[in-house]
Amino acid sequence: MSFEQELDKYDFNDIKDFIFSRKPADVEFALGKENIDEEDFAALLSPAATPYLEEMAQKANRITVQRFGKTIKVYAPMYLSNVCANSCKYCGFNRHNEIPRVILTDEEIRQETDIIHNMGIRHILLVTGESPAKVGTDYLINAVNIMKDKFSSVCIEVYPMSAEDYTLMYTHGVDGLTMFQETYNRVKYADVHPAGRKRDFGWRLGGPERGAQAGFRTIGLGTLMGLEEFRTDQFFLGLHAGYLMKNYWKTHVSISFPRIRKASGNFQAYQIIDDIDYVQMLLTHRLFRHDLGINVSTRESAEFRNKLLRLGVTHMSAGSKTEPGGYAKEHDGKQFQVEDTRTVEEFCDMVRMNGYDPVLKDWDTYFLNGE
C-alpha cells in the first residue's frame, strides 16, 4: 500500500479535532512511555502539551544523544536555477514574481563549487525551481558531473521525477533527495498551488517513495508551517516519515519544518508559528521517531538555532546563499532571506563550544560503488 493510500484513511479535519481535544492526562500518559503511538503523538502535538516542554526537552535530548551522539551534520545548498513554471502562492520563485531569473552555466557551477568546497562543506544540496523543460535531468546530470569530485554527498531538491529518472540521477552520483509536501491537506494544497505541475498532490506525495525505491541513501520530507493548521500537518508529516522508515529501512529519513514568518507579497499565511510552537513540534517528532533526522536551516536565526542544538536537531545548514550564483555574487533572485548569516567556520565554532561535533563529512560515494 502506498503512502497516498495510507493518507486517504484519515480525514484532515477529524485529526485536527482529535489533536485539539487532547487533555493534560493524555499528555502525561504519553510522557510516561518510552515508545509512543499515534494517539500519544497527537497528544504531544496538542496545545495541552505546551506546559510540559521542559520535560519533553530533557527526554528528547537524552534520546538524540543515545541515537546520534553529540553531532550535527553540516551541509549547504547550492541553487542552480530559480526559473520556475509553477505559481505557488507562498514562494519567491513563483513564475509571476519579477526577480532576476538565472540558470547557472558550467563555468558558474564550477565557481560556486570551488567557493563552497573552500568553505569546508562536503555535503551539498542542489536546489532548483521546477522547470523540467529548462532545468531537466540532462542539466542536473551535467551539474553533478562537474561538482561530484568536490563533495562526498550530493542531494537534490528539485521537481518530482519518475522512478526511472531518480534511478538515472542515482547512477550518476546523487545519493539523496529532499521533497517537501508543503501541506498534507489536499484542499489547501490545491488552493496554494493554483497552476503548474506542482498542483498534482499525489505525484508529489509519491516522490520520496519513488526516490527510496531508486536507492537514495537519504530522503528529506517537510511541510511549510503556517500554510495550514500546523499541528495537524505535523501529525501527517510524522506518519509519512514513519511509513518510509518502515518500508525503506536502508534509507535514512529526515524532516524539516520551515515556517512562514510573515506574508510574502500578497500571500497571507493561515497562521504565524512562534518559537514555542516550533520547539514543541521538534521535540514531539523526536519523541515519536527516535531515529529520525531533524533538520533546521539558516531560515531560522543564529540565536534560535543555538538554542535548538540540544533539543533533537541532527542536521543544520551553514553559510547558505539562496539565490543561484549567490556564493560568488549576491543578487535579488533569492528564494528566502537567510536569518543565520554566520560563516561555516563561525557556525562550527559555536557547535564545538556547546560540546557537539560539527560533522562536515559522514559519507563518501565510494561506499556505494566501491571504486
Q: List the one residue from 94, 152, 178, 284 that touches ligand SF4 (CB under 6 A).
A: 94
- Evaluated on CA atoms 46, 52, 55, 58, the torsion sign reads positive
Residues 6+ apart with CB under 8 A from 366: none
Give 57 or 140: the residue with its C-beta nearer to ligand SF4. Answer: 140
88: contact with ligand SF4 by CB under 6 A: yes
At closest approach, how far in Å is the CB of 100 from ligand SF4?
Answer: 15
Q: How far is CA 6 from the centre of its chain?
A: 21
Give 94 or 317: the residue with its C-beta nearer to ligand SF4. Answer: 94
At closest approach, how far in Å is the CB of 192 from ligand SF4?
Answer: 9
For residue 347 the three cell numbers come to 557556525
For residue 345 the three cell numbers come to 567556520
Give 63 or 91: the residue with its C-beta nearer to ligand SF4. Answer: 91
Q: Which stretch binds ligand SF4 (CB under 6 A): 54-62, 71-79, 85-93, 340-348?
A: 85-93
Residues 6+ apart with CB under 8 A from 62: none
Give 84 or 124: the residue with its C-beta nearer to ligand SF4. Answer: 84
CA 4 to CA 65: how far, in whole Å?
33
For residue 19 the three cell numbers come to 489533536
Residues 6+ apart with CB under 8 A from 348: 74, 120, 318, 358, 360
334: contact with ligand SF4 by CB under 6 A: no
Q: Which stretch binds ligand SF4 (CB under 6 A): 90-98, 267-275, 276-284, 294-302?
A: 90-98
Q: Which stretch binds ligand SF4 (CB under 6 A): 43-51, 84-92, 161-169, 248-256?
A: 84-92
Site for ligand SF4 in 267-326 (CB under 6 A): none
CA 300 to CA 335: how far, in whole Å?
14
CA 229 to CA 47: how far, in whole Å?
12
Q: Which stretch binds ligand SF4 (CB under 6 A): 80-88, 99-107, 114-122, 265-273?
A: 80-88
Cα first-last separation, the chain: 36
At closest approach, how far in Å is the CB of 88 from ligand SF4?
Answer: 3
At closest approach, how far in Å is the CB of 92 from ligand SF4?
Answer: 7
Q: Which stretch binds ligand SF4 (CB under 6 A): 91-99, 261-269, 270-278, 358-366?
A: 91-99
Q: Are 207 and 249 in contact (CB under 8 A)?
A: no
Find residue 180's DSSP bridge partners. Answer: 222
Q: List the one residue from 76, 84, 135, 237 that touches ligand SF4 (CB under 6 A).
A: 84
Give 226 or 242: the residue with its C-beta nearer to ligand SF4. Answer: 226
**Count of beta carbons in the 10 Å neighbourhood of residue 354:** 12
At closest approach, how far in Å is the CB of 300 from ligand SF4?
Answer: 19
Site for ligand SF4 in 112-171 (CB under 6 A): 129-130
At closest approach, how far in Å is the CB of 211 from ligand SF4?
Answer: 17
Q: 124 vs 74, 161, 225, 311, CA distance in Å?
A: 9, 19, 24, 24
At closest approach, how far in Å is the CB of 67 from ligand SF4?
Answer: 31
At closest approach, how far in Å is the CB of 91 from ligand SF4?
Answer: 3
Among residues 121, 124, 154, the alpha carbon closest in space to that of 348 is found at: 121
**Count of beta carbons in the 10 Å neighbourhood of residue 33:** 10
What one-letter code names the amino acid at 158? Answer: V
86: contact with ligand SF4 by CB under 6 A: yes
At closest approach, how far in Å is the CB of 93 from ligand SF4?
Answer: 4
Long-range Cβ pairs for the range 33-41 (8 Å, 24+): 35/290, 36/287, 36/288, 38/239, 40/288, 41/235, 41/238, 41/284, 41/287, 41/288
Taking residues 194 to 223 in sequence order and writing x for each that binds ligand SF4 by CB under 6 A, - otherwise, the string is: ----x-------------------------
Q: List the one residue from 27, 45, 63, 91 that touches ligand SF4 (CB under 6 A).
A: 91
Residues that bind ligand SF4 (CB under 6 A): 84, 86, 88, 91, 93-94, 129-130, 198
